[in-house]
């Protein structure tokens, strides 16, 4: 029961994954926490999230809330600000760093902003623990398949974040620093499926960049499962990767359109996009091992290699979204399983907001 009696800080806790993570932690499935702190810079999203837990409908329903007296606590702050980070994590046992600039085009236009959030934010967490000797047990950073052999700013900054977190183990021996890396999260804010849903509701066209483009597909709960598993099992410096299925963008579009008379329009690849995403590179395959339903990328730094017998490599080459593709029927089944077909999306979106 890894969360029993623990104080958990979630940076970027009002994001899609952050909200599901917080909700599941509060169910007590892995132990009842002492405190869950949602840390972000968006007061409106925090207010909406707090209201949903108070079962309120309108802002005027709320007269007073006892923020610091509740298990679920909200803090306004920015990972870019060192003082904000120090204030938030000084009593934390577990830190989940989900704060990020993650939109590929936005990061291409504003790379400095991506560096400040994705790199300096992680650096501030490490620095605060090191300089103040905060007794944080574990820091886990949420990364992306775009960090593997990156070609865009978002991926590059996330790749640097992984290295910042991994190397932090050397100078902070009392804290375990680990990462998770996963692909497209179905129905997360800003992902392709909500875009397709909007286009279908408006009778099209549904815009596809390149029909043959492939993407890993993971539900929000599977993303949280990956974080939970890494928190429970990962050793210092390891990066956990789910063995997720993948599909072509055209099959995702066709699955969502179903039998509706809606045009599909090919628009071409966008700046910074890959045809196929890679979760584990061929270089990383040389130190990638199997951990149940996950791969674990072992750290390269010799100081972080663990003394047990070497484990066999789980891969002989890179793990790409083009390796094992779902066909159209398989894509439809996956989307139905996660209730993401158009006829179910309204109730699904309402559930996400609760």
Residues 146 and 104: beta-carbon distance below 8 Å: yes
Residue with tokens 């509701």: 201
Burial 17-53 (b: 16+ CB within 10 A, else e): bbbbbbbbbbeeebeebebbbbbbbeeebbeebbbeb
Is 254 among the residues known to form the active site? no
Q: Which of these is catalytic: 6, 19, 45, 146?
A: 146
Gap between the Cα atoms of 34 and 53, Å rounded: 17
Q: What angle do CA 33, 34, 40 make, to 5 degrees?
A: 85
Contacts (Cβ under 8 Å, ≥6 apart) of 324: 245, 246
* Residue among 8, 178, 179 at smallest CA distance from 92: 8
Gap between the Cα atoms of 205 and 198, Å rounded: 10
Gap between the Cα atoms of 2 and 57, Å rounded: 33
Omega cis (within 30) before 205: yes
Continuous H helices in the chain: 16-26, 43-53, 82-89, 104-109, 111-114, 121-132, 153-171, 192-201, 220-233, 249-257, 328-337, 342-353
Query: How many alpha carbons lie under 13 Å from residue 333 in its C-beta half-sphere?
Result: 7
Residues involved in catalysis: 146
């Amino acid at each position: 029961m890894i969360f029993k009696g623990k104080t958990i800080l979630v940076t970027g806790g009002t994001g899609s994954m952050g909200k599901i993570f917080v909700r599941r932690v509060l169910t007590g499935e892995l132990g009842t926490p002492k405190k869950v702190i949602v840390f972000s810079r968006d007061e409106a999203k925090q207010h909406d999230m707090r209201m949903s837990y108070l079962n309120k409908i309108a802002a005027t329903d709320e007269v007073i809330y006892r923020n610091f007296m509740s298990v679920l606590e909200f803090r306004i702050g920015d990972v870019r600000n060192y003082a904000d980070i120090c204030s938030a994590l000084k009593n934390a046992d577990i830190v989940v760093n989900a704060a990020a600039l993650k939109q590929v085009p936005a990061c291409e236009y504003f790379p400095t902003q991506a560096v400040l959030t994705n790199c300096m934010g992680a650096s501030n967490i490490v620095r605060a623990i090191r300089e103040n000797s905060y007794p944080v047990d574990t820091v886990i950073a949420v990364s992306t398949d775009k960090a593997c052999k990156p070609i865009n700013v978002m991926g590059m900054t996330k790749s640097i974040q992984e290295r910042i977190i991994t190397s932090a183990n050397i100078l902070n021996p009392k804290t375990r620093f680990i990462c998770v890396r996963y692909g497209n999260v179905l129905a997360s804010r800003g992902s392709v499926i909500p875009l397709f849903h909007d286009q279908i509701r408006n009778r099209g066209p549904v815009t596809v960049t390149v029909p043959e483009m492939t993407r890993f597909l993971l539900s929000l709960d599977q993303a949280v499962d990956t974080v939970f598993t890494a928190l429970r099992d990962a050793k210092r410096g390891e990066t956990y990767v789910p063995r997720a299925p993948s599909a072509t963008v055209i099959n995702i579009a066709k699955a969502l359109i179903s039998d509706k008379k809606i045009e599909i329009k090919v628009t071409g690849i966008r700046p910074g996009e890959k045809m196929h995403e890679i979760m584990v590179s061929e270089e990383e395959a040389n130190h990638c091992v199997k951990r149940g339903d996950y791969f674990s990328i072992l750290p390269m730094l010799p100081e972080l290699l663990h003394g047990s017998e070497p484990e066999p490599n789980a891969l002989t080459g890179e793990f790409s979204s083009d390796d094992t593709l779902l066909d159209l029927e398989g894509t439809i089944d996956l989307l139905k399983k996660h209730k993401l077909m158009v006829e179910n999306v309204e109730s699904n979106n309402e559930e996400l907001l609760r």
